[in-house]
Chain A
Amino acid sequence: NAGVTQTPKFRILKIGQSMTLQCTQDMNHNYMYWYRQDPGMGLKLIYYSVGAGITDKGEVPNGYNVSRSTTEDFPLRLELAAPSQTSVYFCASRGQGAGTEAFFGQGTRLTVV
């Protein structure tokens, strides 16, 4: 099993550009998450999904969009990149239930200039 795979690993965007961060998991997990991690800080939840076709906002959703057309994929879309979106983005997945272990991808380091 590959686990959770994120692409790309690094990206530099200009202000106003858009991009999609890809996330795919092969563990048939229902729950998927997108977090951002600013330097020296914890993980802040952007969006989450409890299953295909169902998504909801987390703590910091402004400037982002998501979709969940399949169980495996949970892409994160940035429409108009801003310097405040410079961060490391992590995708995670876990099975259904509060006691299930979450698995994280390796992260995408995004810089907006």
Chain B
Amino acid sequence: GESVGLHLPTLSVQEGDNSIINCAYSNSASDYFIWYKQESGKGPQFIIDIRSNMDKRQGQRVTVLLNKTVKHLSLQIAATQPGDSAVYFCAESNDYKLSFGAGTTVTVRA
């Protein structure tokens, strides 16, 4: 079965606010944890990843936090924009394996 899952299936955010998307995982042996964004009618697109020996990584407007103690992963999006409306998946990678959770649908309100 799936070893990666998300806490909430939907998230509604006011434009300009920060978004936090959460994910729980169960496989402590994974080497990397990754966030993907899927816009309507398209394939998933890589956003950011974090290696299992790190606890924080920042990108452009995004930050991923990894808490190995409670097996929790989160994606923070700063100053959420309408273009951030999409489904967000967390995934875990271990050599060739790449497993996905169910996804959180983020809707940005104007």
A interface list, Cβ under 8 A from B: 4, 31, 33, 35, 40-45, 48, 50, 59, 90, 92, 94, 97-99, 101-107
Contacts and interface: CB of A to CB of B under 8 A. Distances in A.
Interface of B: 1-2, 9, 30-32, 34, 41-46, 49, 51, 89, 93-103
B79 to A, nearest CB: 24
Contact of A107 (B43, B98, B99): B43
A107 B100 contact: no
Residue from the set A40, A42, A101, A102 with the largest chain B CB neighbour count within 10 Å = A42
B44 A43 contact: yes
A79 B51 CA distance: 39
B46 A102 contact: yes
5 contacts: A43-B44, A94-B98, A102-B46, A107-B41, A107-B43
B42 A107 contact: yes
A4 to B, nearest CB: 8
Contacts of A35: 100
Nearest to B2: A42
A4 B44 CA distance: 12
Contacts of B93: 98-99
B98 A106 contact: no
A68 to B, nearest CB: 13
A99 B92 CA distance: 10
B21 to A, nearest CB: 14
B2 to A, nearest CB: 7
Contacts of A90: 43-44
B45 A104 contact: yes
